[in-house]
Amino acid sequence: MQSNLMRPAVATASMVMAALAAGAPHAHRHQLMWVLHALVHGEQDDIAEECLDVVRGGSWILYEEICSGRSIEAASYAYEMLELFPEEDARLKSVQRVARENLSYDLR
């Protein structure tokens, strides 16, 4: 995936969040989290910010991914996206303490 975002990136972020909320199969969740991670870290700040707003609206999905223990990679992508929300700092630190074994070593 390119880091040079285009307008459809926001719609893509919405569709990925919807798929995750609907309970996407475990085999696909890691890749869906990777796509979201790439979209919110894209080079076009305005589009990346819009993607981030989409993700912010479903932050519970990211917390669920961290706590589920399904995939360390998916949980780590979710954690790194939540780090972009200053308002989630205290909650994220609490979740990190409880679910640290579900995260990659550098995020524990």
How would you write the pLDDT of the chain (108 residues) with one tens digit per residue? Answer: 556 889 899 999 999 999 999 999 999 999 999 999 999 999 888 999 999 999 999 999 999 999 999 999 999 999 999 999 999 999 999 999 999 999 999 999
Buried b (16+ CB within 10 A) or exposed e, 91-108: ebeebbeebeebbeeeee
Q: Please give the structure tokens belonging to residue 55.
A: 């993700």
Range of the domain at 54: 8-107
Count structural domains, the chain.
1
Query: Is residue 77 in a domain?
Result: yes
Q: Please give the structure tokens belonging to residue 61.
A: 């999905």
pTM metric for this prediction: 0.93
Buried b (16+ CB within 10 A) or exposed e, 41-60: ebeeeebbebbbebbbebbe
Above pLDDT 90, what percent of the chain? 90
Model pLDDT, residue 63: 99
Query: Is residue 60 in a domain?
Result: yes
Model pLDDT, residue 3: 66
Above pLDDT 70, what percent of the chain? 97
Q: Which of 83, 64, 84 is nearest to 75 (CA)?
A: 64
Query: Is residue 90 in a domain?
Result: yes
